[in-house]
Every structure is written in C-alpha cells, then in structure tokens.
Amino acid sequence: MIIDAHQHFWKYNASEYGWIDDRMAVLKNDFLPNKLKKHLETTRIDGTIAVQARQTIEETEWLLRLSDQFDFIKGVVGWVNLRDKKVKLQLERFSKHPKFVGVRHVLHDEEDDDFMLRPDFLCGIKLLAEFDLTYDILIFPKHLPNTLKFISYFPEQKFVIDHIAKPGIKNKIMDPWMNDMKGAAEFPNVYCKVSGMVTEADWQNWKATDFYPYLDVVFEAFGTERILFGSDWPVCSLAGDYGSVFKIVFDYMKNFSANEREQIFGTTTEKFYNINKN
C-alpha cells in the first residue's frame, strides 16, 4: 500500500484560515476528499493521513467524519487542547475512533518560541502514549534546539518532524539545521516526514536537485525505516502539482532497494501511525 503521510482538507473562509494571504490565492478555495481522490488515482496512491489545519476540536471531529465517508483516509492527526487540565477526556473520546492516530499543534505559529516547553503543554504530551497516539512536530529550524530538549523528556513517545523542519531551501541554507536534525535523529522514537519542501524553495523556479542536499541529510540521519513521504496537499499547490511533488522523492530514490522504497512510501507510515491497529 502506498500512503501519503501528510495532507489537509478545508472549506475555506478568511476568518479560520487567516494564514492564507494574498500570495496564496490558489489556496482560497475548498479542498475536499473528492478533489484529492483524483490526484491519488493518477499517482496510484492508496491512502492518506489527514492532518489538522485548524486549532479546534471541531476540526478533529470533522476530519474523523470525513474518514468515515472516504476509505482512502487511513488515519487522522487531529488537534486537542494539550494544555487543558481535562485533555485526557478529549483523548479518551477521540481514541474510540479507529482512525484517530495522532495529535498536532501548530507550534511554529506560536509567538513564544518556548511554547513546547511549557509545563502544561508537556503534561498533555505525556498522556499521548497512554492512548498509543503519535505527535507531529511542526516547527521552523529556529525551534530545533528546543525540540531536542522537548523530545528528550519522552523517550517512549512516537514523534515525527513535519516538513523536514522547513529549512531555507530557497537560499540554500544548511546550517545549523543540518546538525540539529542529526541530533533529533539520534532519538530512536523520532521520525521525519519528507514533505512540505517545495514551499520552502523558489515557488516558480525550483528544480528537483535543489532538494537533494536536504534529502541526503535526512536519509543519512534517519534511515528509510524512520522516514515518511507526504505531499502536504493542497499547500504544495503553491509551488507544484501533486504529481511533481511525489516525483521529487520517487526519483531521488531510484537507486534505492525495493524494500527501502516500500518503507518511505508506505510501510513506515503504517508502522508509525499504527493504521491497521483495528
């Protein structure tokens, strides 16, 4: 099974998606499962992981309802208020749904760069393993030093770094991102998504080889057993169509073994999100 480990759905409105500015006009539309399904069929992808795009309980409920309607949605990474003293009740409720596989918070939009180290947030993270839930880490490179502290507190928690931590691909910036990512990879419970790369490049003029130095770092550090492919659709539409985003990683791996390609494009995602648990 080939799985896209990272995509989003939304019904667009300006108040809930304020991060979509005028440069991103193409995203000011509805992006729902039937639209994605066409891309999956063309690219021969069997399933996806739908990831939250709003910081609301309603978002999580909506994504789970979509997963009930569309079999290709194999898992949902939702949002819960991890700082709420009653967050355990939220986790108990959502964990009853077989496709609720993990949680994410949009850390890189928080004004406080130390947000992930706040005691109440850490208390929420501590509960995830009890429900066999993963956590997606959405950050910029500047957050990586704090991320190393953060993940060190939870050796039994499964983490995945989204979008290879969004390095400065457009300006060919490698440091200190490279060393920090190598540091993160030293924790065996930390995985990495090769996703969201095209929007960190020159949207109009990127070429596939622009990403290879970054992929080299990630593949060497994490190995194919801890890397997941994700399209970041529809956000990727800002800089490339679905097929071209898939092709970047597919072509990069042309000299890898069949088993290694299967890991990146499916089995590692199945393992990480435990999508066949029920």
**Distance from C-alpha of 113 to C-alpha of 140, rounded to nearest angstrom:** 10
What's the total number of domains in the chain?
1
Which residues form the domain of 75?
A: 3-273
- The model's pLDDT over 93-127, given as tens digits with 9 standing for 90+, comes to 999 999 999 999 999 999 999 999 999 999 999 99
pLDDT digits (tens, 9 = 90+) for 136-193: 999 999 999 999 999 999 999 999 999 999 999 999 999 999 999 999 999 999 999 9
Residue 85 domain-assigned (yes or no): yes
Residue 175's domain is classified under what CATH number? Answer: 3.20.20.140
Domain assignment present for residue 266? The answer is yes
Cβ contact 216:252 at 8 Å: no
Q: Please tell me the predicted confidence (pLDDT) of residue 278.
A: 45
Single out the residue of 225, 231, 230 nearest to residue 262, CA to CA: 225
Residue at 198 is within a domain: yes
Q: According to the model, what pLDDT value does residue 276 have?
A: 72
The pTM is what?
A: 0.96
For residue 278, tell me if it sits in a domain.
no
Domain membership of residue 139 (yes or no) is: yes
11, part of any domain: yes
**pLDDT for residue 67 is more than 80:** yes
Instruction: Answer whether residue 200 is part of any domain.
Output: yes
- The total number of residues written for the chain in this structure: 278
